[in-house]
Every structure is written in C-alpha cells, then in structure tokens.
C-alpha cells in the first residue's frame, strides 16, 4: 500500500509552480497545467520552488511510536478512565493517546531538522524510537515490558512566529502552510476561509490575523532551529525530568501536602 501510494505521488509530483503574467503554470512529470488562480496547500513541502516565500516554513521531522495491544486489565490498573489524550509541558512536548485497539501512541519528544529541499523521504531513526520507548516505559512503569510495535514519522513546518500562515504571491497564487505540527484542525478552518476569500474577495477577521503578502519571511526561526539547538532543548527537557520525575521529591511533596492538610 505504501509503495503504491508513493508511486502515485511520484507520478503526480509537482516540480514547479510559476506565475507567467495572469496565468500560473504548474509543472508535473506528465505535462503542464495552466490556471488563472492556484492555492498551494503542500504544507512544509515546496520550499525548492522560487514561488514559495523564503523561510515560510522550517522543516522538522517528527515521529510517533505505537505499543503492542495492552491487556484491558493492565490498562484498567492505570486508572486512565477518561481515555483522553495527555500532553506534557516539555519544551518539545510529548503526547500519549490510548487507541481503540488498546495500544498507546506516543509522539514527538525529539525533532530533527530538514536541511535541504526537496525534502527527503525519511524513516524513523531507531535511536529516537528507542529513546521514545524508554520514555513510555518511564511514564507508565507498570507497562515497561510492553513492546513498541511500530513507528512512523513525517515533516512538519514551523512558521516564523509560531502561528499558522496564509498569504498571497501576486494576485493569483495563494497559500496556507506551516501549522507548527498542529494543522489537523487549523488547516481545514484556514483553507475554508481562504476558499471564500478567493471566490468572494472578502477576508474574514481570522484570516486577516494570519495573512501575509511578503515575498520573504525573516530567517530567525530557520537559524534558531539548528540540530544542536534541538538537541540542547531535548537535553533541557531531560534535565527537568531528572528533578520533576524524582520519586524522592514526589514523596517529600506528598509528605508536605499531608502535613499541610492535617
């Protein structure tokens, strides 16, 4: 399935988007499409095209892992009765979700910088997968024997100011990109409003709030998100874990709480 999807994508991959006066030309391996208006919704991809504003999205590769199915009585013992997702307060947050298959999906914790466009196809780094598996075992000690069954990853786009970005190049190319890894809700909302704007010419307040027509964004985020900075952020999170995750400190806090309450 993956191989055939990849083949279809290869066959339809747009290699360039150009404005030629009032027309936009989209180059594919099988020919050129000409349109009067184009909306680019390629997320963090397309950074190699001249039309994509420079530094619009800084690419980071992020990973999710999934455990093997866990026996219902072991899950019940966790008291995770709401089954709602949990996120941590780390700089690079980690999230845990309990699936209908009774597996736990856990994500992010580490991000890896994409350096070149077109973005390469990539698979999860086994070192990162092991680190995430270790975290899952620490977070749920009673499940430390549960195996990690699979891992997958993809590119997310970090915007120059951590907000979603939508905008325009000239009068006929529009884009909605870079949702900082939170696009599942944001993208349908933004693109719906963008479609209304393209058709009716009326811009909603929400769209105006993230709108841009600059041909180039500041390089600050791209310069900041260097591999050594991402590694240092990971180190800072682990340093904080060392203190916040200390059982001694947790017991002391519990004792203090009991004394305060009595």
CB atoms within 10 A of CB 69: 14
Q: Tell me the backbone φ, ψ of residue 152, rounded to 5 degrees.
A: -150, 165
Q: Which is nearer to ligand FAD, 8 or 259 (CB)?
A: 8
CB of 165 to ligand FAD, least distance (A): 11
Q: Which is nearer to ligand FAD, 15 or 91 (CB)?
A: 15
Answer for the pair 108, 181: CB distance below 8 angstroms, yes or no.
yes
CB of 183 to ligand FAD, least distance (A): 2
By CB under 6 A, name the binding residues for ligand FAD.
9, 12-14, 41-43, 45-46, 62, 64, 107, 153-154, 156, 179, 181-185, 187
Taking the C-alpha atoms of residue 151 and residue 101, their distance in angstroms, rounded to an integer, is 16
Taking the C-alpha atoms of residue 59 and residue 201, their distance in angstroms, rounded to an integer, is 31
Taking the C-alpha atoms of residue 236 and residue 258, their distance in angstroms, rounded to an integer, is 31
Taking the C-alpha atoms of residue 190 and residue 206, their distance in angstroms, rounded to an integer, is 8
Q: Which is nearer to ligand FAD, 78 or 93 (CB)?
A: 93
- Nearest residue to ligand FAD on Cβ basis: 183
Q: Which is nearer to ligand FAD, 1 or 184 (CB)?
A: 184
CB of 251 to ligand FAD, least distance (A): 34
Q: E-strand spans in the chain?
A: 16-20, 23-28, 31-35, 38-40, 58-67, 86-87, 94-98, 104-113, 148-158, 165-169, 173-177, 211-212
Q: Which is nearer to ligand FAD, 82 or 262 (CB)?
A: 82
Tokens representing residue 59 in the block: 């690419």
CB of 71 to ligand FAD, least distance (A): 26
CB of 233 to ligand FAD, least distance (A): 18
CB of 43 to ligand FAD, least distance (A): 3
Tokens representing residue 248 in the block: 């001694």
Q: Which is nearer to ligand FAD, 120 or 257 (CB)?
A: 120
CB of 191 to ligand FAD, least distance (A): 7
- CA 196 to chain centroid: 26
Q: Which is nearer to ligand FAD, 28 or 142 (CB)?
A: 28
Taking the C-alpha atoms of residue 17 and residue 170, their distance in angstroms, rounded to an integer, is 13
């Amino acid at each position: 399935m993956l191989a055939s999807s990849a083949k279809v994508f290869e066959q339809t991959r747009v290699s360039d988007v150009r404005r030629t006066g009032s027309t936009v030309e989209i180059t594919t391996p099988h020919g050129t499409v000409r349109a009067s208006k184009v909306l680019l919704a390629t997320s963090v991809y397309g950074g190699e095209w001249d039309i994509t504003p420079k530094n619009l999205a800084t690419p980071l590769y992020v990973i999710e892992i999934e455990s093997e199915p866990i026996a219902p009585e072991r899950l019940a013992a966790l008291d995770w009765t709401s089954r709602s997702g949990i996120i941590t307060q780390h700089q690079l947050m980690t999230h845990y979700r309990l699936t209908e298959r009774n597996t736990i999906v856990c994500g992010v914790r580490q991000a890896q910088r994409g350096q070149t466009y077109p973005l390469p196809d990539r698979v999860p780094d086994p070192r990162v997968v092991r680190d995430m598996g270790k975290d899952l075992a620490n977070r749920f000690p009673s499940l430390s024997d549960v195996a990690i069954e699979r891992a997958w990853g993809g590119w997310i786009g970090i915007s120059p100011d951590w907000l979603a970005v939508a905008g325009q190049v000239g009068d006929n190319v529009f884009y909605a990109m870079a949702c900082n890894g939170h696009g599942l809700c944001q993208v349908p909302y933004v693109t719906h409003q963008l479609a209304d704007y393209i058709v009716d010419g009326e811009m909603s307040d929400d769209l105006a709030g993230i709108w841009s027509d600059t041909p180039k964004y500041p390089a600050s985020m791209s310069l900041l998100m260097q591999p050594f900075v991402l590694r240092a952020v990971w180190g800072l999170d682990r340093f904080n874990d060392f203190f916040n995750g200390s059982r001694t400190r947790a017991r002391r806090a519990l004792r203090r709480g009991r004394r305060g309450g009595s």
